[in-house]
A and B are shown apart, each in its own frame.
Chain A
Amino acid sequence: MSVLDSKVPKGPLKTKWTDYKNHIDLVNPANKRNIDVIVVGTGLAGGSAAATLAELGYNVKTFCYQDSPRRAHSIAAQGGINAAKNYQGDGDSTYRLFYDTVKGGDYRSREANVYRLAEVSGNIIDQCVAQGVPFARDYGGLLDNRSFGGVLVSRTFYAKGQTGQQLLLGAYSAMNRQIARGKITSFNRHEMLDVVKVNGKARGIIARNLVTGEIERHSAHAVVIASGGYGNVYFLSTNAMGSNVTASWKIHKKGAFFANPCYTQIHPTCIPRSGDYQSKLTLMSESLRNDGRIWVPKNMEDVMAIREGKKKPTDLSEDERDYYLERRYPAFGNLVPRDVASRAAKERCDAGYGVNATGEAVYLDFASSIQRYGIEQAKIHNIENASKEKIYELGAAIVKAKYGNLFQMYEKIVDQDPYKTPMMIYPAVHYTMGGVWVDYNLMTTIPGCYAIGEANFSDHGANRLGASALMQGLADGYFVLPYTIGDYLSHDIRTGKIPTDTPEFDAAEKEVTDRIEFFINNKGEHSVDYYHKKLGKIMWDKCGMSRNAEGLKTAIDEISALRKDFWKNVNVPGTTTEYNEQLAKAGRVADFLELGELFAKDALVREESAGGHFREEHQTEDGEAKRLKEFQFVSAWEYKGEPKDAVLHKEELVYENIEVKERSYK
């Protein structure tokens, strides 16, 4: 019997969550005033959880490394948020959203969690509208929707290309209301550096004030980790520069199992890299695939001519273009899920058809949409015999209204006008489906320690569908955790304030201080970024879009050696008692150097292909991912010192309400 208990309630899928909520213990309002909760991270999950917990009456402390909760990287999400509202009347339902998500995740997510997610999705939209989130509307005043990859309905709500920003500002405004009431104390420019356990339970954290360098003790009856994913283990990703795994990794080292680290999403539509100095990659929203068509030239001569600047992409006729997604996946076309689209781009580029100097780019072309919208608009405006230019102008205006900010962003970075010439895109690391293992209550294997949003593992399986991250973050924060945490906290109504002058806090603080002192005093040879870049290269080359046993074994050795060198030779300037970004970064990279190795180990053990995890040894004849029945489990790793000593625990995945089939988008 596994040590993992998912605590999924019994009963039919459809009523599990409602029945469960009806029977869990509650904390009365007077007692909530005596209970403290710490929330680490203030993105969609953390911000929404903090606001809701404070509204319920708990005393909340939030922590974020940015200068304001509003800057959390959820803000960069562009395209939209899914909800099974069926406003378009196209046959959407809770079940269909549930089904699409499980299938999209390549049957590697937990059924009950996903169903609950689909169930509360509609509520999220209601809530956000009530908060004043300006979602896009149609001319009749109703909410508008668009489509995302991997689904056949229009269920994505959006606010131009800044949906994440608007949802985050909604959660931030809810937080502000509670900050004003004194129910949330917000610690900005603070970083959590350890969790403190008392009698086995999470009872507080050690945090560092990033401005003064002061080490602080904060106690609470429960600790919620909402610090996002670990995509920056690759150095280059679409994550923010400061995004890190530290909070998740610290709780892992104190007893929280880490699940499926190898499930990483490589997003198909990002701006290709241009040089070694590059510090991050920029995403172009998946929503663009609603109107953009992806292609490379059919003939190698054209590829060469384009690379040499002798031909322009617009010179190529339709016959000379290979719309490879439409060719390979006629049913879903350009809207296949992200993992499929990314691998297809890699396949073409590996075959030599990449269209830029590095050979790592494909086209995303809006010409046919501009044409189509132009003709439609000409009709709407009763313009007869509209000229080519007029049609272009009318069509471009529609595309601008839909994706204007994305086009502008592209133009600023690449210095090309995407209205006139196709965008160049290439896959980049974007999201991590893996994360801290949690049960149905979103509690980790440390009692009283929760993980929500991207930081946990549960809902997206081996591949996340577009517009589902926002949905999960807000579902966890607004509608799931606030209930489930009550069940745990109901046992704490007589505990009273947790003191911080105890041996447990002393020990945790000493550990943190020792490490910081080490970094400052080491005065080695290489900067923190030197190591981060090296780690990133190993990860991208050997644990990237496709992986094989040999590469993974090499990666494990290389990361382990790099980590040893880091602890010998890292150079951190400055002092411990000042604003010192390099010092903060050193701690984060140290944790990435451990996580990276566990990642490779997890990928090596998982001898199948599933979603974002593609093992070259396990593919079908036409190059699709080959899942294996015997790997229908969650890998949850227990920390035992070095990453190589981590112990694997398996949570079997049972599908009672969905038939596990071959995942096909053809």
Chain B
Amino acid sequence: MNLTLKIWRQSDANDKGKMVDYKVTEISEHMSFLEMMDVLNEQLINKGEEPVAFDHDCREGICGMCSMFINGEAHGPDRGVTTCQLHMRMFKDGDTITIEPFRAKAFPVIKDLVVDRSSFDRIQQAGGYISVNTSGNTQDANATLISKHAADEAMDAATCIGCGACVASCKNASAMLFVGAKVSQYALLPQGQIEAVDRVKNMVAQMDLEGFGNCTNTGACEVECPKGISLENIARMNREYFSANVKE
């Protein structure tokens, strides 16, 4: 198929940036979206032009590195996938595709479609861990029984890949789904109880400090999340947060 691409080009954080049109031809429906971008870049390099910068790494939907806002949706029109797993069979010959970076105040653009998501790292550093040394001198792994239900639910929350689609999709650029998922993983497990009060307070405080917006329960994040992280996690975080403040 032949496509018209409207791509956000921005040389660095200080550049104002603009949309630029490109044409690509003979795109196979079996290609992944990023392979289509590879074709474009190879074309640009051979013409002596600057290729489009975009983040990507594992190309199997797990590392969370790829982003892109495609036709107004984080990770494009398909559900339950990251951009690297999006296939060109979702598009048809003659389509015009708009490609922008994930936009949020807390995700400044580095170049073109590459954004800085280190705010997510800082939120995790504020409390997204269990304070246990890696000495190996912990108790036997089977010493504490954990119900299958709790373990499975914790796992569902833990599958968040930290891509930032939730933030990009939210009209308030809120990171509640991301933070809620991490808080939930620990809240659902006995290992997480000891530091539960401080964890949720510290992580929420850091989230606010980074400039993420508030949650107004519109649920766009859940729809666009490539890993299907549920809104329940936000509710659970709110509960944790209120009870932490009551306990104070």
Q: Are A73 and B114 in contact (CB under 8 A)?
A: no
Partner-contacting stretch, out of A158-166, A341-349, A555-563: A158-166
How far, in whole Å, are A135 and B150 apart by their CA atoms in the complex? 11
Closest to B80 in A: A408
Contact yes or no, B58 A76, CB < 8 A: yes
The one of B120, B139, B161 that contacts A130, using a Cβ cutoff of 8 Å: B139
Question: Quick check: is B32 within 8 A (CB to CB) of the other chain?
Answer: yes
Mask of B135-178 contacts with A, CB within 8 angstroms, 1/0: 11011111011111001101100110110000000000000000
Within 8 A of B (CB), among A86-110: 87
B residues 73-129 with Cβ under 8 Å of A?
A: 78, 80-81, 85, 87, 89, 110-111, 114, 116-118, 120-121, 124-126, 128-129
A169 touches B158 (CB 8 A): yes
Type the 1/0 row for A115-135, where 1 means its CB is closer than 8 Å to any CB of B.
000001011111111111011
- The contact string, 1 if C-beta is below 8 Å from chain B, for chain A 281-309, is 01100000000000000000000000000
Q: Chain A residues near B35 (CB, 8 Å)?
A: 277-279
B191 in contact with A137 (CB, 8 Å) = no
Q: Does B208 contact A (CB under 8 A)?
A: no
Rounded to whole Å, the gap between the CB of B3 and the closest CB of chain A is 14
The size bracket of the interface on B is 35 or more
Q: Is B230 an interface residue (CB 8 A)?
A: no
Q: Contact between B42 and A68 (Cβ–Cβ < 8 Å)?
A: no
Inter-chain CA distance A524–B42, complex, in Å, is 14
- Size class of the A contact interface (CB-based, 8 Å): 35 or more
Residues of A within 8 A of B28 (CB): 275, 277
Chain B binder among A11-19, A358-366, A577-585, A647-655:
A577-585
Asked whether any CB of chain A lies closer than 8 Å to the CB of B45, the reply is: yes
Contact B125 A179, beta carbon cutoff 8 Å:
yes
User: Given the complex of chains A and B, what is the CA–CA distance between A277 and B63 in angstroms?
Assistant: 22
Produce 1/0 per residue, B21-42, CB < 8 A to A: 0000000101110110011001
**Residues on A with beta carbons closer than 8 Å to the beta carbon of B232:** none
Within 8 Å by CB of B53, from A238, A415, A579, lies A579
Does A176 belong to the interface (CB within 8 Å)?
yes
- Interface-located stretch among A140-148, A450-458, A543-551: A140-148
Known contacts A137-B151, A240-B59; decide if A274 and B30 are in contact (CB<8 Å).
yes
In order of increasing CB-CB distance, the 4 nearest A-B pairs are A141-B145, A173-B129, A130-B138, A123-B136
- Selected A-B contacts with CB under 8 Å, 18 pairs: A68-B120, A85-B141, A123-B136, A129-B141, A130-B139, A136-B152, A140-B145, A141-B145, A142-B145, A172-B124, A173-B129, A176-B129, A240-B57, A241-B57, A277-B31, A409-B60, A413-B32, A573-B49
Chain A residues within CB distance 8 Å of chain B? 48, 51-52, 55, 66-73, 75-76, 85, 87, 120, 122-132, 134-143, 159-160, 162, 165-166, 169, 172-174, 176-177, 179-180, 186, 188, 211, 238, 240-242, 274-275, 277-280, 282-283, 405, 408-409, 412-413, 415, 478-479, 527, 529, 571, 573-574, 578-579, 581-582
Additional 18 contacts, C-beta under 8 A, given A136-B151, A142-B142, A179-B121: A66-B57, A66-B63, A124-B136, A127-B134, A131-B132, A132-B189, A134-B185, A136-B155, A137-B146, A138-B148, A141-B148, A160-B155, A173-B130, A174-B134, A177-B129, A277-B35, A574-B50, A579-B53
